[in-house]
Chains A and B, each alone.
Chain A
Amino acid sequence: MLTALIVVPLIGAVASMALPKEREESARWVALLFTAIALVAAGNVFFALDTADAGLQFVDRATWIDSEVLSFDVQYFVGVDGLSATLVLLTGILFVVATLVSFNITLRPREYFMWLLLLEAAVMGVFVSQDLILFFLFWEGELVPMFFLISIWGTGRKEYSAIKFVLYTLAGSALMLVGFLVLGFSQGTFDMQALAEADITEAAISLHAVFLLILAAFAIKLPVFPLHTWLPDAHTDAPTAVSVILAGILLKMGGYGLIRINAGILPEQFDDFAPYLAGLAAVSVLYGAVLTMRQQDLKRLIAYSSVSHMGYVLLGASALGEIGLTGASLQMFTHGTITALLFVMVGLIYDRAHTRQIADLSGLAHRMPLAATFFVVAGLASLGLPTMSGFVAELLVFLGSIEAFEVQTVLAVVGILLSAGYILWTVQRVMFGPENPRWASLPDTDNWWEWASMATLAALIIAIGIYPSIVVDTLENGVLRTMEFI
């Protein structure tokens, strides 16, 4: 069943490329069809998951590469627990949204949707892989689609940003590969489950070094200060759909890896580094928030706010407790939906006004009441208003980390105040305030696809805010499984 998550988008990519040139406009429908099928499959995985079962579920397993002379047996091994299943669902939802907001793409649409679908296959693969090499393969497989999506369909200094993104990620993942090889060699397997169960005490180099090598990739992806500088550039110059995916899902790959691999396989080393990680988390939260306040460009603003918000994921995970891990996982899911909605809104505004400068945008609410409503919803969710999904996640993170890391947690709480500040200030400047005559003829959201994507995300945000159990129950299944290894 999980294999379908990877194969469906792949088939979609081929189908998109196979369209005749005269009908290239239909690529978007092909993409919508296949992302929708993938979403159904993802939903099926999420809802069919037995939350009482503590093991991996829906496992597909086969030997893929088998070497007699090296301890180099790679399996095609996919399986999910609650954590993976939730992120798989998020991936399914956000790729449908990304396809919807890409409906206005007219430049080389066949290739565009091909790359988008390939990206989905890679991301799905990351979340379901249970073999380190397979995980790495999907992890790297995401680079090429991203490179082309940003560098062809982006704006501004798109080539610079695309290559910066690729090099940062590649640098991290190269080090991660070394860590994986050392781990795999020490136990004679790349099976993540077996590695998590094993009590690893020795490897070719110190296990702390292995931990740091692997952490490098996830910290860059998350992103943690000071490794975050690729993110604002990539976000700013990427097309809307790619910003949605980048903030909504790709960053979560970092958090996921941190919990699954760093915490799950090397918990003792994680414990040793935890105070420093929590410290870095607090710095990320504060530094990201302060920089966010200074941004003039809406996309950069959301990008920096992501740096800040992803700091909570690191903070929650550092405590290595059940509550903190649940909070971190939930933060990943909720931040995925909230930021996605924010980027959809910015894309929509940019599409109409052709500027993202906050100073130029003023009083948009008069012209675009509907868009303004959604923008406010997303903003409030982002600052962690109760009854919105962000609140529950942050609360859990703080509850989970306060005992272990008092100072770091208190510092990070200040981030909440700052984020309330920049969000409200931004909403005020963009949506309210004096009406700028330039926007007198700006149309509101009238396309059904914009509607559909915004409404879906907003509904999710509010639903989880009011009744978090929808995802928390499933997430806890994954957290409990991780706790067993710790």
Chain B
Amino acid sequence: MWDDLDKLGPVLAMGGVATLILVWGFLPRGRIPAPRNTALLAVALLGPILAAAWALSLLTRDEAGFAFANSMVLDDFSYFFHFLFAGIAAAVLFSSQDYGKRFGDRQPEYYALVLLASGAMMLLAASRDLILIYIALELTSISQYIMAALQRDERSSEAGIKYLLLGAVASAVILYGMAFLFGMTGSTRLIAPAGEPSIASAIAERGEEMRAGLVLSVVFLIAGFGFKMAVVPFQMWVPDVYEGSPAPVAAFLSVASKAAGFAAVMRIFFEGLTDASISGDWADIFAVVAAVSMSVGNVLALVQSNIKRLLGYSSIAQAGNFMVGLAAISAAGGLEGAASGVLFFLAAYAFTNMAAFVVVIVISDRTGSDLIADYGGMWQRAPVLALALTLALVSLTGIPPTVGFIAKVYIFNAAVESDLVWLVVIAVLNSVVSAFYYLRIAGTMFLAEPRSRERIATSYPVRLALAVAAVGILALGIVPSPLLEVAQDAAAVFAE
């Protein structure tokens, strides 16, 4: 019991701090000072710090293995996402310090929800049981529905409602898929120690005879998770929700929520459904979804004038890139290679897109505008922000010496090894399309006349967040080996 709880520690830390903040926010005013911005940030940061410290302690104590009757597992894959989500949560908290004032007296809720959602994502990545996956997923989603609507103006509310309705449908679809899977295999455990019932072992034994049913449930699962990962054709909510949500929430959705979706999908498909009788089928579906996502996302991003919408569509296209990795599993030994490629890309993308969104958050906060046209002359008004955003955009395009370049090369290589050359050709051509809109933003900041001469000040936490992200983008672009090794270790979980 205590051992199980210990393994759940990082998640508990996030949840604990979140509860603390909520209680603090609800305490009667007067006797205890109302939570103020900086103090809230300091307390909220305890969440990711404690969680990361706990995860680190588990790691050094070598506490790997199953917990809670095989429903949860601590392995390198879980650790990878523990640290990733702790990092993303810290970055989002940091960058919303100034923006947070707009939430008024709902600030404590906002900080608590970020922590709750991130904690749930950690749990999601460590789940090896369909029921636990569903619970973690819902905890993540519900927190995010509220976050999207937190600004309580018309657009924010609309974003929240839209996200809630479509998200609920997606959850139901996932539940259908899970129910089918359970019905056919008689277990909710994806994988279990030898001798105990699990989905993987049931498919290994009777995979051929229930193939039709399995394909059906796979289609449901891909549709449902496709919504969470925001891939075409399940992406319709993305632009509206990103545009309407408060900027830090949009950042959180585009980075953390996406990574969580992929973590769950990798668990389910790479652990539960890897059997050769079925893996070829879903690899094909992933390949098609990848091609469509990249192409549709990029083409629609081209015509956007609102930067949050543009980043929304671009994140759909980027999800297509991750999908290339998921599709590249059919080759011999490709499972591990593809998985490490996706993990590397996820971490790289987290750095890069966070940097981009932090800039958008600050500019959106100071100018009150999300129009790309208003980024004209940003180089003169806020050189640090302009440089950071340019670096992030270059990395998103995949131009060296940034981490985005290595990520793309790595994932495309995995696909080439799996004989998916056609998909790689589509992917690289899409990179060219994306260069057009990414560089156009950079060009606007450096070339266009500024709309106003007023300089945009940046606070210390924001600068710190940007500096960390920028160093990450460049350093990992030049010396990718450390992250590569971590990603490979995490992916080694899927080696048979």
Binding site for B on A (CB under 8 A): 64-72, 133, 136-138, 140-141, 143-144, 147-148, 151-152, 159, 162-163, 166-167, 170-171, 174-175, 177-178, 181-182, 184-185, 204-205, 213
Contacts and interface: CB of A to CB of B under 8 A. Distances in A.
> Could you say which interface size class chain B belongs to?
35 or more
Contacts of A151: 443, 446-447
A65 B406 contact: yes
Interface string B19-47: 00000000000000000000000000000
A70 B442 CA distance: 34
Contacts of B400: 136-138, 140-141
B410 to A, nearest CB: 7
Interface stretch (B254-262, B430-438, B462-470): B430-438
Interface string B136-175: 0000000000000000000000000000000000000000
Given A144-B394, A152-B447, A178-B428, A70 B421 contact: no
26 contacts: A67-B340, A67-B488, A69-B337, A69-B491, A70-B337, A71-B413, A72-B410, A133-B409, A136-B400, A137-B401, A137-B405, A141-B399, A141-B401, A147-B439, A151-B443, A152-B446, A170-B431, A170-B435, A174-B429, A175-B428, A175-B429, A181-B413, A181-B416, A181-B424, A185-B417, A213-B425
Given A147-B442, A175-B425, 14 more contacts: A65-B406, A65-B484, A70-B410, A72-B413, A136-B409, A147-B439, A152-B447, A166-B439, A167-B432, A170-B432, A171-B432, A177-B409, A182-B416, A185-B417
Contacts of A148: 446
A133 B409 CA distance: 9
Interface string B387-407: 000000010000111000110
Nearest to A138: B400
Contact of A178 (B337, B340, B425): B425
Given A71-B417, A178-B428, A205-B421, A66 B481 contact: yes
A62 to B, nearest CB: 12
Contacts of A181: 409, 412-413, 416, 424
A67 B399 contact: no
A68 B336 CA distance: 10
B21 to A, nearest CB: 41
Contact of A182 (B421, B440, B484, B491): B421
Interface string B219-259: 00000000000000000000000000000000000000000
Contacts of B409: 133, 136, 177, 181
B419 interface: yes
Nearest to A182: B416
B492 to A, nearest CB: 8
B412 A178 contact: yes
B333 interface: yes
A148 B442 CA distance: 9
A166 B491 CA distance: 35
Contacts of B289: none
B359 to A, nearest CB: 18
A61 B47 CA distance: 45
A390 to B, nearest CB: 35
A477 to B, nearest CB: 30
Nearest to A205: B421
Given A67-B340, A69-B333, A140-B405, A178 B416 contact: yes
Contacts of A174: 428-429, 431-432
A184 B336 contact: no
A38 B431 CA distance: 33
B312 interface: no
B48 interface: no
Nearest to B436: A167
A70 B424 contact: no
Contacts of B417: 70-71, 185, 204
Q: A144, A152, A167: which has the most chain B beta carbons within 10 Å?
A: A144
Q: Which 6 A-B pairs have the closest CB atoms?
A: A174-B428, A70-B337, A181-B416, A137-B400, A69-B337, A69-B336
Contact of A144 (B399, B424, B492): B399
Contacts of A72: 410, 413
B414 interface: yes
B480 interface: yes
Nearest to A71: B417
Contacts of A137: 400-401, 405
B119 interface: no
